[in-house]
Chain A
Amino acid sequence: DTAVSQTPKYLVTQMGNDKSIKCEQNLGHDTMYWYKQDSKKFLKIMFSYNNKELIINETVPNRFSPKSPDKAHLNLHINSLELGDSAVYFCASSQVLRSLNEKLFFGSGTQLSVL
């Protein structure tokens, strides 16, 4: 049983297209995240949702729009894709947003390549 699953694993697309990445967690967690990992492996938070409510929104272009239909799902829609959007996108979840030692459970990532 995969705890945090995201699809697709690979996404190759042309500049200017719109694409979505889906994420689901079966851990019963309240909080979900999107992280971006660039080619140098740098891992940076993009968004955080707690029980369907947006909690953290880093300085991400508004071409990126997260959607949380329920607390088990957090999807990421990207409009007008640019070359610089190429990266690995990780979904993650944690049990409690404000606990001291919240452990993050990561999905296996979606490698996005914009041509």
Chain B
Amino acid sequence: DAKTTQPPSMDCAEGRAANLPCNHSTISGNEYVYWYRQIHSQGPQYIIHGLKNNETNEMASLIITEDRKSSTLILPHATLRDTAVYYCIVRPNTGTASKLTFGTGTRLQVTL
């Protein structure tokens, strides 16, 4: 699986957009970008994933650069409940047992 690089921590004011970057310069053509988050003491939670097109769901938007070497997770109106560690994971979607490889992620702190 391709390696990812994320900043260790970020701050965001409540109500503002939180933009979390992820670098995956060695990504392969068949690898997807997944985002999970882990709120303190809870199990990780799936947020969104994409291959090359930008994606949006009820939780967030995912912007992937044209060369696919980096991406940005956008939480459009961050709330205090979005304070969590965000993990960017790159892996092929082959329908096999391929596991998730979690790095240390970005710790997002949303403040008043």
Instruction: Tell me if chain B binds chain A.
Output: no
- B interface vs A, CB < 8 Å? none
